[in-house]
Structure 1
Amino acid sequence: MTSIDRLDAEILGRLTANARVGIAELATDLGVSRNTIQQRIRRLEDVGILRGFRPIIDLSAVGMPVQALISLELDQRRMAEVVRGLAALPEVIEVKLQAGREDLLVHVAIASLEALQPLTASIVDIEGVRKTTSTFSVGTPVPYRLQPLLDHLTEGSGWGRSTPLPT
């Protein structure tokens, strides 16, 4: 496990909020050199903490306003086959492996509530799927965020070996 310090946390938080922020702007805002920012980002990429920069897409704006989470119970011997089948469905955004009663959690985006039934039928048709349970996302009271976690992880640390936190 690689540790991060307060400066890393600030860089990651700002990139999470706006991946298009420039190196010079980050350096100015954080009171460090551009070189420091570039080296920190490179290190965060090299050790696998920072794994890319992605746009945030409003699925409603592209005609997929309904999101659902579908929990699947599987025949464990068919896990790879089920995952391949799910990956072939364009509505599937993400599949997470779970511990517990259900084996997989499938995040899907669909155009309407009515579209869930045929999608669920397609999922049930995948050999190895035993049972599905669907829930709908009706809002996002806490959107995806990392800064509170990053702050917690770096509580009490400075910015590198000798740089104190800015005041």
Structure 2
Amino acid sequence: MRNERDLDRIDRAILFHLQQDGRLTNVELARRVGLTPPPCLRRVKRLEEAGIITGYRARVDPAAAGLGLEVMVSIEVSVSDLKTLEGLEAAIGGYEEVVEFRRMFGTPDYYLRVLVADYAAYEAFQFEKLIGIPGVARVISQPTMKKIKVRD
């Protein structure tokens, strides 16, 4: 199995059901995709070994965990030397508040998804952590009003 084109209907069904509930037993998963348990387990193992299934995790409601404010942050940088950019990425990537971090083509240079308790916590994060990183030229923050669709 090399890529997505090598996936058949049953592989895609396995992926769909595991994305909906990663705690499904092999017996239940096999029932849902129309296989017996042994071949279903072999397919799951093959998908894992191929790197298509990269792991299993619990989904946590951020608000219930005390992280009720989500902020989408765009960052523009003022430098292009590799060492400074690597330092910036290491610093931002290490912050617990940053749950998603992407380098973009074009402008802005980076997008972050930040989860914090409230506006005061975000202000502290921005001024104590983001603003002081060498190379950061501009930070634009957009708090999330409402999530319409989320796919993990």
What's the TM-score, normalizing by structure 2?
A: 0.89
Give the corresponding residue for 1:88. Answer: 94
How many residues align structurally?
145
* Unaligned ranges ≥5, structure 2: none
Give the corresponding residue for 2:69. Answer: 66
What's the TM-score, normalizing by structure 1?
A: 0.82
Q: Which has the higher contact order (CA 8 A, sep 6+)?
A: 1
Q: Give matches, 1:30-41, under 5 Å.
A: 30-41=33-44
- Residue 114 of structure 1: CA displacement? 2.5
What do residues 65-91 of structure 1 show as CA deviations (whole Å, max 9, x unaligned)? Answer: 001111111223221100111123221
CA distance, structure 1, for counterparts of residue 95 and residue 39 of structure 2: 43
- Residue 129 of structure 1: CA displacement? 1.0
The 8 Å contact of residues 66 and 137 in structure 1, kept in 2 or not, is answered as yes
CA distance, structure 1, for counterparts of residue 50 and residue 58 of structure 2: 22
The 8 Å contact of residues 81 and 128 in structure 1, kept in 2 or not, is answered as no
Give the corresponding residue for 1:107. Answer: 113
1:133 equivalent among 140, 144, 148: 140
* Unaligned ranges ≥5, structure 1: 146-167
> Which ranges of 4 or more aligned residues in structure 1 deviate by more than 4 Å?
none
1:119 equivalent among 116, 125, 133: 125
